[in-house]
Structure 1
Amino acid sequence: YICIYMYIYIYIYILAYHSNDFGTQGVGLPLQIFFCLVMVTILLVALLGNVVVCLMVYQRSAMRSAINILLASLAFADMMLAILNMPFALVTVVTTKWIFGDAFCRVSAMLFWFFVMEGVAILLIISIDRFLIIVQKQDKLSPQRAKVLIVVTWGLSFIFSFPLAVGSPLLQIPPRAPQCVFGYSIEPGYHAYVLILMLVFFFIPFMVMLYTFMGILNTIRHNAIRIHSHTDSICLSQASKLGLLSLQRPFQMNIDMSFKTRAFATILILFSVFTVCWAPFTAYSLVSTFSEGFYHKDSFFQISTWVLWLSYLKSALNPLIYYWRIKKFRDACLDLMPKYFKFLPQLPGNTKRRIQPSAVYVCGEHRSVV
């Protein structure tokens, strides 16, 4: 509640103070109010949802599997992104200019890419782990190894993002963007850093994850075909032995393989959300770096706001995907909530058998099934 009141107070104060300062470089007042409402919603969902994920993995020993530890690291990165970056972008959308100074501009850009690259690295590790389990039949990721990989990814993300904090390359404070982003430059070193960052952050992880998912889908398809063909051959042999081949069709066995593919489907959804949310921001960063005309367009602020908050949307969608797809997470989330605060919908899942000690179970004399 304190966070909500603080953001509402900041918004009303800045809106009243700068009500006459909206220029052509910003956005109109109706669109500005819409952006602010959407931003506050995304910020609160990203903050609260990812805090719940971190608390569950920290408090419950049963939730500390390798993949859950990785998801907790991803949630922590998204939570820090919501705390240390989103509020300042929200203020900049209202004021239509960066008011926090040059030094904090560099620090903010460093933190932004630091947390973003960490989240991408965790998603890449999870995708490779699913590939090794399903395709290579190798389950090598233990909780201890997951913790080591988390430390390594945090270190590598810091190495790639730290040059922004010391001004190498030197970021320009954009006059029409809601956050310190890459702008147009003619320096070769600036171009090289942006290209390397985009490759490490988006293009290389995207290609690797796409390759792993295509391999997993191909393996699942071949396994399903092999299982069904093996089932048909067994049914035909049994029917021929009984002399029923000409009398009836072989029995078709319905094999439920959802328990093998559900975890992969969850990771595939996370990958799809990552692609949809971050592909426009990647293209926007590259175009604004190499195209002077695009960087100096009057609509640059509005375009920047759309793509930036589309990328922030991923941090809010991830915990909702966990609640939707992972039953253990859903049950633990509902257990953590007070009884008067359980407003989330009950999604279908495996029903639990509850046996009451006081109940009397009677079996009929001629009844074979209880």
Structure 2
Amino acid sequence: MIYTNITGHSMEILHNNLTIQQPSFARPQNSTILVEYEALLDIIWTVAFSSIVVSAVIGNATVIWIVIGHKRMWSVTNYYLLNLTIADIMMATLNVIFSFIFMRDSQWDFGVVYCVINYFTSLVAVSSSVMSLLAITLDRRRAIMSPLKPKATRWAVLCAICAIWVFCMILALPITVHVYTYVGGDGKEVCIAVWPDGPQGYSKYDFYYNVIYMMLTYILPLLIMGACFLQMGRKLWGGEAIGEDTPGLKRSRVNKQKVVKMFGVMISIFCICWLPYHLYFLYSYMNPDVYKSPYTKHVYLGFYWLAMSNCSVNPIIYYWMNRRFREYFNYVLKCTPQKLKSNLRRITNRYRRNGSFSEHQSEQIALRRLQMNLHVPVQHRCAFTHQEDKKELQRGLPESSESFS
């Protein structure tokens, strides 16, 4: 796990190297079937984890481009979503690859400096993802439960994001300062945290720290987010509209319901992906003999793969449940060399009224419209302009639910 991401064999190496009175771990010899298929299982796990890294990098990099590169996507919720995306891509690139190789080979080959960095980035990225989800939930709750309150300014959002990262870094420090690399009697080096009372997995300090970490980054945030979603659900699906229920109010309520559903799916998947990981941590501490099983390595890799897959699933959710993200993703998917120029022109023309261009570009568009209008007979100009503006307005109306504004 992030907390105890070493296998029983690695614990054996550590035990042989450190003079700490802990139970010895011998590799079982009665699992000939598992030994025969060990190489095949390693290949399967390599493909599985590689797919996570590739999909997470491509998907999250696309999300970063969508939010940063298009002004119409600049909103409070999208800023927090961008922060979540950065944490996910950091986890995929700086932690998943190296941790998997370490668990697969039971040997750390990346040096003591990156051993510390690997621990630190994994803890910071996970907690930052959770806090970003919590910030998104609180922002949506404010927008739905108190719509008349002023929106948070960009500076307020920036300060909140900075506070998230500072809090996550402080939370990761206690275990990071105890992380080292050790070489066992068989010459294999491992990356592990050794507390004053013993190595991780056996230390009470390690157990207490991970329980606190789990409370702050899993249980408490999920309880808060669950309470917020209950309140929003009652307001959107169970409450009655105040005054006349106009078509505009109905459309706004439906849009907000779509947003709540999407973030509800994200949080539910996060809960499901990380639950087995946390349960394994508690069970392995209560029952250390689990490390002696020849199947522990692959069971743990399964739990670790499920938890790490969460960093690649969010872009899929955006594509599935949000129209604007889906349009931008489709644009990227269709960007073959032959269609790149035509697709760029099409998406440019479509979103020119939604704040995606500079003032100079807007002036050029207005000038072309004026020149086009000069070719229309005088008696038809007003009607022509009105019809064109009406079409452009209908095509360019912003939807709060789709842009998370």
TM-score norm. by structure 1 comes to 0.71
For 2:231 and 2:304, the matched residues in 1 are separated by 32
For 1:66 and 1:190, the matched residues in 2 are separated by 37
Partner of 2:327: 331
Partner of 1:363: none
**Cα deviation 1:318-364 (Å, max 9, x = unaligned):** 1111122222222233344563279xxxxxxxxx8xxxx9xxxxxxx
Partner of 1:57: 67
Partner of 1:148: 159
Deviation at 1:93, TM superposition (A): 4.8
Q: Residues 200 and 206 of structure 2 are in contact (CA less than 8 Å); yes or no, is this contact kept in structure 1?
A: no
Structure 1 regions of 5+ residues with no counterpart?
1-22, 235-253, 343-351, 358-370
Partner of 2:237: 221
Q: Residues 181 and 191 of structure 2 are in contact (CA less than 8 Å); yes or no, is this contact kept in structure 1?
A: no
For residue 298 of structure 1, give the secondary structure of its aligned residue in structure 2.
coil
Structure 2 regions of 5+ residues with no counterpart?
1-28, 194-198, 340-349, 351-371, 373-405
For residue 294 of structure 2, give the secondary structure of its aligned residue in structure 1.
coil
Deviation at 1:42, TM superposition (A): 0.9
Partner of 2:140: 130
For 2:201 and 2:41, the matched residues in 1 are separated by 26
Whether 2:296 is the aligned partner of 1:280: answer no
Partner of 1:105: 115
Partner of 2:219: 203
2:264 partner amino acid: L
Deviation at 1:131, TM superposition (A): 1.6
Q: CA RMSD in A?
A: 4.0
Whether 2:290 is the aligned partner of 1:294: answer yes
Whether 2:338 is the aligned partner of 1:321: answer no
1:334 partner amino acid: N
For 1:200 and 1:284, the matched residues in 2 are separated by 18
1:163 partner amino acid: P
Q: 1:106 to 1:286 in 2, by over 3 A?
A: farther
Deviation at 1:94, TM superposition (A): 4.1
Percent identity at matched positions? 22
Q: List aligned pairs for 1:55-94, cutoff 5 A.
A: 55-94=65-104
Whether 2:168 is the aligned partner of 1:157: answer yes
Deviation at 1:60, TM superposition (A): 1.8
Deviation at 1:59, TM superposition (A): 1.9
For 1:172 and 1:218, the matched residues in 2 are separated by 55
Partner of 1:184: 201
**Cα deviation 1:162-195 (Å, max 9, x = unaligned):** 2222107x899999xx98689421x432222111
For 1:46 and 1:33, the matched residues in 2 are separated by 20
For 1:123 and 1:64, the matched residues in 2 are separated by 17
Count of residue pairs the alignment pairs up? 307
Partner of 1:8: none
Partner of 1:28: 38
2:175 partner amino acid: L
**Cα deviation 1:190-234 (Å, max 9, x = unaligned):** 2221111111111111111111111111222322xx259987xx9
Partner of 2:265: 269
Deviates more, 1:124-133 or 1:27-36: 27-36
Q: Residues 121 and 153 of structure 1 are in contact (CA less than 8 Å); yes or no, is this contact kept in structure 2?
A: yes
Q: Residues 36 and 93 of structure 1 are in contact (CA less than 8 Å); yes or no, is this contact kept in structure 2?
A: no
Partner of 2:54: 44
Partner of 1:6: none
For 1:296 and 1:103, the matched residues in 2 are separated by 30
For 1:105 and 1:147, the matched residues in 2 are separated by 30
TM-score norm. by structure 2 comes to 0.65
Partner of 1:7: none
2:221 partner amino acid: P
1:274 partner amino acid: F
Q: Residues 47 and 83 of structure 1 are in contact (CA less than 8 Å); yes or no, is this contact kept in structure 2?
A: yes
**Cα deviation 1:289-326 (Å, max 9, x = unaligned):** 34322344332211210111101111110111112222
**Cα deviation 1:96-129 (Å, max 9, x = unaligned):** 4444455543431221111010000000011111
For 1:320 and 1:61, the matched residues in 2 are separated by 22
For residue 315 of structure 1, give the secondary structure of its aligned residue in structure 2.
helix
